[in-house]
Amino acid sequence: MQKRVIAVYGGSFNPPINSHIILAKQIMENCKIIEKLIFVPVSTKYQKLDLADDNHRYNMLKLICENEDKLEVSDIELKQNKQLYTIETLDYFKQQYGQDYDIYFIMGTDNLKELETWNNPERLLKDYKIIVLERSDDKLEEIISMNSFLNNNKESLIKIEGISKIDLSSSFIRDRIQNGESVEEYMPKKVLEYIKTNELYKF
């Protein structure tokens, strides 16, 4: 019997933009066994520069999800006193949803290439499946074939057909905001209004 599936979409979402929503919806539309997709923003404890405050990024994701039945946002990584490893976050959701569910993690090929350096990658691929989004000119099959670790665990790597290759990044949006350029076409209106109201990214 096919288990029900929860997909976990981690990232900085600094800020969340249209491409995040498009990819999330395409994943849901093209992988019907996924019951729900949960955005999980990393906390400012994560070693990444220029992250907006945790609450702001969480609130912007809440705005995106508020009228979407199958999209949610979790603050699990924001409320911890340390930055969780991905395996810890996935273990949390597995415990929350129980044995009737499989947990899938969404990852770009840029991160997949570095997966072997992550915390406990063997168990990550043993206990969970990864939906891989191809970046730029990357081809998942080629990446797997050139990496023995990935090749030995390729049954845990999932490529969903019908997913757009979108290389638009949040850093591009931040740069446009800082330069006083329009970003209306790149994000939902309510997120843009939130950014303006809270004067994020030096708007």
Burial class (CB in 10 A: 0-12, 13-18, 19+), 9: buried
Per-residue three-class SS string for 97-164 = HCCCEEEEEEEEHHHHCCHHHCCCHHHHHHHCEEEEECCCCCCHHHHHHCCHHHHHCHHHEECCCCCC
Q: In the beta sheet, which residues pair with residue 36?
A: 6
Q: How confident is the model at residue 94 (pLDDT cuts 50, 70, 90)?
A: very high
Residue with tokens 């959701």: 93
Best CA proximity match to 118, nearest among 78, 90, 98, 143? 90
Q: In the beta sheet, which residues pair with residue 86?
A: none
Residue with tokens 């949040």: 170
Sorted by where each begins, the domain ranges of the chain are 4-202
CATH class of 4-202: alpha beta
Q: What is the pLDDT of residue 165?
A: 78
- Asked whether residue 38 carries a pLDDT value surpassing 80, the answer given is yes
144 in Cβ contact with 113 (< 8 Å): no
- CA 112 to mean position of chain CA atoms: 13
How much of the chain, in percent, has pLDDT values that exceed 90? 83
- 76-80, 99-103, 117-121, 161-165: which range is least confident on average? 161-165
Which tens digits make up the pLDDT trace of 122-167? 999 999 999 999 988 899 999 999 999 999 999 999 999 888 877 7
Task: Supply the pTM of this predicted model.
Answer: 0.94
Q: How confident is the model at residue 19 (pLDDT cuts 50, 70, 90)?
A: very high
C-alpha torsion angle, residues 23, 27, 29, 33 (rounded to 10): -160
Q: How confident is the model at residue 119 (pLDDT cuts 50, 70, 90)?
A: very high
